[in-house]
Amino acid sequence: MNRIIEKKQLSPEVFLFQIEAPLIAEERQPGQFVIVQASDDGERIPLTIVDSDAATGTITLIFQTVGKSTHLLAELNKGDNIPHLLGPLGAPTHITKTGTVVCVGGGIGVAPLYPIVKAMKKADNMVITIIGARTKELLILENEMETISDEFIVCTDDGSYGRKCLVTEPLKEICQRDPKPGLVIAIGPPVMMKFCAETTRPFNIKTMVSLNTIMIDGTGMCGGCRVTVGGQTRFVCVDGPEFDGHQVDFDIMIKRLGSYHKHEEKAHHECHLQLGLEKKNS
């Protein structure tokens, strides 16, 4: 079960797994996620499902190695089984025909954005996609995104590829068009989603964001993933992962995401030592 049938490295820190998971492939809808564990007692990692094929019974996951647990996951190879895989979880993206939809992806957030771009296009929307990364080699799914988008913009923070700017710059330009887009979907680092929401707010354009908070069970049981949305406490795992970006309290969410930062750094460092990855001078 959960056999990895394909593994690709998309960038120095980003990996793609295609996994045999027929039940999840059958039920899964865009916007939903899974929880994976790289070992029996390993951390539970929520990952958005990038793609699925009910006919072949496979799902595609893309993840970035950010800490010990994602590093252990990246150690798995084609033919290995993922010890634990639970899903599909969360509420699916609400896909409707809205006219023009702007899809904004930053860094690894381009991966969960991909199925939404696909679904929005399939629902006969005009889709403008903006993807961004710190630098050229961290860009993922460029070709895939370009193929399915009506308009496609790439930017990098350092100008090594595409426009040298943050994703909010082209987003603002598109918001100023007449007619303005009907919907913006932004997925990426919390700070990026926060500023995308701030960019669209003055234009009064509905902006959905997909949150990836700390989770344990992913079924509503622990409440560790909770966020403040419109002054109310909501659970990302069952009420989300998508919320109205204009209502999300990003500041407290970002602080909660940092809860285990020190612990993660230490575990990550020790993991590198174990795996022999640490550079001598670091």
Partner 1 sequence: MSSPTWLGKKEQLNRMNTKNSHNLNDLLKRKNDLKPSERAAVPPQRMSEQDPEARVRNFDEVALGYTPEQARLEAMRCLQCKNAPCINGCPVRINIPAFIKEIADGNYQEAIDIIKQDSLLPSICGRVCPQEVQCQAPCTLGKMLKSVDKAVSIGRLERFAADTERNQGIASLPVKPDTGRRVAVIGSGPAGLVVAADLRRAGHAVTIFEAFHKPGGVMVYGIPEFRLPKAIVQAEIDILTDMGVEIRTDFLVGRTRKLTDLMEKDGFDAVFVGTGAGLPKFMDIEGENLVGVFSANEYLTRTNLMKAYSSDIADTPILRSRKVAVLGGGNVAMDSARTAIRLGAEEVHIIYRRTEKEMPARVEEVHHAKEEGIIFHLLQNAKRILGNDQGLVTAIECLRYELGEPDDSGRRRPIVIPDSEFMIQTDTVIVAIGNDSNPLIHKTTPEITTNRWGNILVDDKGQTSLNGVYAGGDIVSGAATVILAMGQGRIAAKSIHEYLTNGS
Binder among 118, 121, 194, 226 for partner 1 (CB under 8 A): 226
216 binds partner 1, rule: CB under 8 A: yes
What tokens appear for 49 in the block? 């499902």
CB of 214 to partner 1, least distance (A): 9
Q: Which of 4, 7, 13, 44 binds partner 1 (CB under 8 A)?
A: 44
Does the footprint of partner 1 cover residue 40 (CB under 8 A)?
A: yes
**Structure tokens given for 79:** 């033919």
Among 20, 43, 51, 242, binds partner 1 (CB under 8 A): 43
- Residue closer to partner 1, measured from CB, 5 or 23: 23
Site for partner 1 in 84-123 (CB under 8 A): 84-89
Q: Which of 54, 267, 272, 278 is in the footprint of partner 1 by CB under 8 A?
A: 267
User: How many other C-beta atoms can be found within 10 angstroms of the C-beta atom of residue 222?
Assistant: 15
**Using rule CB under 8 A, residue 160 touches partner 1:** no
Q: Which residues bind partner 1 (CB under 8 A)?
A: 23-24, 27, 37, 39-44, 68-69, 72, 83-89, 216-217, 219-224, 226-228, 233, 238, 249, 251-252, 255-256, 258-260, 263-264, 267
